[in-house]
Structure 1
Amino acid sequence: MVVSKTKYEASEAEIKELFSLHKVGNVTEIATLGDGEFNAAYKVTCDDGVSYALKIAPKEGSKVLSYEINMMESEVFWYTQMHEKTDIICPKVYAFDFSKKVIKSNCFIMEMMEGEPLWAMNFSEKEYENVQRQKIGMLSKIHRITNDRFGYMQMGLMDSWYEALKYMAFSLVNDCKELGKDTPDGEKFLSLIDKYEKLLREVPCRMVNFDLWDSNVLYNAGIGKICWIDPERGFWGDPVADFITLGPGQKSPLSDKQKELDIYNGMAKEKIRLTKETEIRYALAVCYLALIEEVEKYVRYEEDDPTYIRNTVDARDMYDMAFGIL
């Protein structure tokens, strides 16, 4: 079991008061929900028999990374974007509360979705292929959602992907330094962003999820469809970045994902071709994920925690693969 330093532990009284305040219902049952390592989540059932998911941002005073500050407001925004602009199945948000008056942290109440996370399913080969097509189809839909400024909304948007990615990376390097740690790989990544400035300034601005792991997708066996949850780590940026979670995963180059690219291009309005330029854009996105994993371990876990060790190994493998391309 992963022990996180950031999770808010809400009391029964707090949850009941929150649901009453927002006129959602009278709470009869509360249970912890999910295996997330950052936010707290609860399944809350009311006296009408309806269950809801309550999600709570990290507790007051928790050490979080720069881009994670006020990230929950971004999550509510991304759910709204998907409901308004796509037919992607994802939870409806019934109420959000960023006042910190009842629960002393940002929180929101959303629809409790049916299904199990993909990692928990025992799919046949055919079922697995169908689910992967659905995942890729969801990405093709969010990539139709455009903006004219880049980056995380909670950090301030920039005029180009070059400026946004550099600021996102610089903020993590700075977070690392403030924690008393050095990140030579992070510094190297910053120099590579400058090296490819011209290319990055030409990148289109799209909704990017950047977190489409199997733990963030539920499978509803009754209807044979998947549901998208936890989009809080999304940003406005390079759609190529979303291929990190597909196929053989984050430690493999884009060239190992031709099958996924072909499926995507069969669904997408704007195709993503495997070129030297897209390989570079993808490798820079992998570096960014590696930097996140490298730095977040210092604020989330103790050094002997298996997840701390996992992050260390994953980041090293991602850097090595990406630096080899760049």
Structure 2
Amino acid sequence: MTQPLIDSSDIAEIVRDGLGVAVSEAVELTGGGFAAVWRAALTDGRDVVVKVGPPQSARLLTYEAGMLPAEVEYYAMVRDLAPVPTVLAHSDNWIISTLLPGRPLTDGDSPSARQQLGAAVARVHGVTGPRFGYTGDRPAGADWPSAFDAMLTSLRSDAAVWGVPLPPLDGLVTRHHRLLASVTRPALLHFDLWDGNVLVGADGSLSGLVDGERYLYGDPLVDFVSPALFQRITPAHPFAAGYGVTSFTAEEEVRLALYRVYLYVLMLAEQPSRGMPLSGGRHDHVTGLLTAELAAL
């Protein structure tokens, strides 16, 4: 429901406005659920990616405000640290960027690419933000516990508005305040490192990292959740090995569990805006994982 209904003529108009070049062919890409993403071949020989954000009428989660401008910001910050697209032109609601080579990890595993992703993300985490949490008017805080609390509270409020049932979460941040407070530097986080956003070259190496619009600042461990989506990551995971992790302390394991909780709450809260039912396989699976993490905590 957040994806705009557009066609190849719309893509041609965007490219003409942004680059002053005509489009010879445009094909919609699949895999994402937020924006519309197209691959366009230009008459000057270039291939580009055109990403178009939700229509103004779309209802979004609170943290999703201004997502496409945020993606432009992320690529600018990490262009020398990770293989990300180059933004060629943009507006508040669309981005034209270079087309990176390769296929997503969803089309076939590559431990080498996962390890190189871990090394790249470690470099990105060296960037320190001005505050914890999201940018702009979105959930944030002066320290990590307050920012994480604001982020979780925002998702719970969104879920309530949409009528999405969640298990009890009261007091979760308060009970683990001390562990969250041990994070004192707001590292730059991608947050959406699932396999569909990681590109792999023909030789199995990392060729690209895309969809940086959900970036925020906080605990580096947040970025250890989505590379092992629906699992509990271990130091043996190629991403962790590439990052340089040899073990997780007991306190780090608790923080990882908190961040899995956050991701699962987000995945449940976003279902209505993505046109997904509040029952069925995906909903029940994520609810089961969330319940298990809360029980373990």
TM superposition score normalised by structure 2? 0.90
1:94 to 88, 94, 97: 88
* Deviations 1:205-233, CA, capped at 9 Å, x for gaps: 11112211111111121584331111222
Partners of 2:104 and 2:127 in 1: how far apart?
26
SS at match of 1:61: coil
* 1:103-158 Cα shifts (integer Å, max 9, x gaps): xxx1110001111111213x5xxxx3312211211221111111241111141532
Q: What is the distance in 2 between the residues matched to 1:74 and 1:311? A: 28
8 Å Cα contact 1:39-1:55 kept in structure 2: yes
**Structure 2 CA distance for aligned equivalents of residues 265 and 211 of structure 1:** 16
Aligned-partner Cα distance in 2 for 1:222–1:132? 13
Q: Is the contact between residue 7 and residue 58 of structure 1 (CA under 8 Å) also seen in structure 2?
A: yes
1:258–1:191 CA distance, 2 compared to 1 (3 A): same
Secondary structure of residue in 2 paired with 1:48? coil
Could you say which residue in structure 2 is the equivalent of 1:170?
153
Q: How does 1:172-251 map to 2 (within 5 A)?
A: 172-183=155-166, 185=167, 187-188=168-169, 190-203=170-183, 204-221=185-202, 224-247=205-228, 249-251=229-231
Give matches, 1:7-46, under 5 Å: 7-46=3-42
Aligned equivalent of 1:145, options 105, 118, 127: 127
Q: Which runs of 4+ in 1 moved over 6 A?
A: none
Distance 2:143 2:246 in 1: 19
The alpha-carbon deviation at position 273 of structure 1 amounts to: 4.8
Task: Identify the structure with bigger relative contact order (alpha carbons < 8 Å, sequence gap 6+).
Answer: 2
> Cα distance 1:141–1:48, how it changes in 2: closer, same or farther (>3 A)?
same
The size of the alignment, in residue pairs, is 294
Partner residue in 2 for 1:103? none
Percent of aligned positions with the same letter in both sequences?
26
TM-score (ref. length: structure 1): 0.83
Which runs of 5 or more residues in structure 2 are unaligned? none
Q: Structure 1 residue aligned with 2:117, among 116, 126, 135?
A: 135
Question: What SS does the aligned partner of 1:55 have?
Answer: strand
Q: Deviations over 1:66-98 (max 9, x none)?
A: 1112111111111111114x1x11110001112
Cα deviation digits, residues 233-267 of structure 1 (max 9, x gap):
221111111111345x4332x5xx0213862453x
